[in-house]
Amino acid sequence: MSIPHDTVLTDMEKRILDRDFVYEPPHFYNNALALRCELGIGDTDEEYLANAKDRAAAIYNILFENGVDMFFFDSYIYDFDFDAGEKVYINNITAMVRRLLKFGLGYQKKFKHKVVRDLPVDEYDRDDICRRNRICCYPDEKFDAIQALNAQIDDQNNPIIHLVSFANNCIFTVYDDRGCDVVFYDKSNFVKFYPLLQKYFLEYDLELMEQRYKDNV
């Protein structure tokens, strides 16, 4: 269900669909208008995981009052050249690739999408990755964002999906059960959402976030 190329794009879409757009971790440190929030807190494993999911959902509801406009993730194409004696390793890698393909193709079958092909891979310093594509999906009412976030927290082996709001010019990325980053692409929304998200801020990066806010008000 790919989208025709003549579809009118928003500014945020143009940015993400551009091959020169770079969105690499650590997102918080790589972007001047970014906030970092803590998710998992608690004294037991159960409490920690429950809080991670609850806090991720709360942050999502603040940022995406009208739902997700787009989400994207990286899809890798691998090129292996191992000795025959490494059969077990090859089998493990093959299983991983199949799982990742199932993940990516599942979303592409469900939703309209665009693919940004042949992105740079040099920064990964990985000999086994020969190509990287960015899969950009346009979800409908069937997409359960909270379920997707919970899946990311539960199973951190899948590609990380990045949720996008066109109206708020931001990308929301839950990287694991520890925390998440929110990257804004205009000062007004950064300033607007700063106090709304403040109670979720990661204390370790609080000083830097406070300085960013002072620089932009």
Dihedral sign, CA of 17, 22, 25, 31?
A: negative
Say which residue, 211 or 8, is predicted with more confidence: 211
Give the mean pLDDT of 197-203.
98
Residue 199 has pLDDT above 70, yes or no: yes
> Which pLDDT does position 122 carry in this prediction?
62
CB 76 within 8 A of CB 135: no
Backbone angles phi, psi at 205, to 5 degrees: -105, 10
Q: What is the mean pLDDT of the chain?
A: 85
Give the mean pLDDT of 16-29.
95
Instruction: Tell me how far apart the alpha carbons of residues 48 and 57 are, in angstroms, rounded to a whole number.
Output: 14
CB 135 within 8 A of CB 162: no
CB 3 within 8 A of CB 114: yes
Bridging pattern class, strands 170-174 and 112-116: unpaired
pTM of the entire predicted model: 0.85
Q: What is the pLDDT of residues 27-57, one digit of tens each?
A: 999 999 999 999 999 999 999 999 999 999 9
- Of residues 42, 43, 25, the one with CA closest to residue 34: 25
- pLDDT-based confidence at residue 132 (cuts at 50, 70, 90): confident
CA 138 to chain CA mean position, Å: 14
Q: What is the pLDDT of residues 141-151, one digit of tens each?
A: 889 999 999 98
What would you report as the CA-atom Rg of the chain, rounded to the nearest whole angstrom? 18
The percent of residues above 90 in pLDDT, for the chain, comes to 64
Q: What is the pLDDT of residues 52-93, one digit of tens each?
A: 999 999 999 999 999 999 999 988 765 544 444 454 444 444
CB 131 within 8 A of CB 118: yes
Say which residue, 92 or 110, is predicted with more confidence: 110
